[in-house]
Amino acid sequence: MLTRMAHFPHPHAKLRAPRLCFTAGESISFSVQGKETQGTLQAVSTTGGSARILRPLSPGGLAEISLHLSTGRVSALVEFLRPRPQGRFFEQAFRFVAFGDDDYARFHRSLQMLRAG
Residue 41 lies in a domain: yes
* 57: containing domain: 18-116
Q: What is the pLDDT of residues 44-88, one digit of tens each?
A: 888 899 999 999 999 999 999 998 877 788 999 999 999 999 999
Q: Are strands 27-32 and 20-21 parallel, antiparallel or unpaired?
A: unpaired
With left for phi above 0 and alpha for psi between -120 and 50, is residue 22 left, alpha or beta? Answer: beta
Residue 11 lies in a domain: no
Rounded Cα distance, 54 and 73, in Å: 22
- Is residue 90's pLDDT more than 60? yes
Residue 23 lies in a domain: yes
The H or E element that residue 109 is part of is helix 101-116
CATH code for position 58: 2.40.10.220
Identity (one letter) of the amino acid at 46? Answer: T
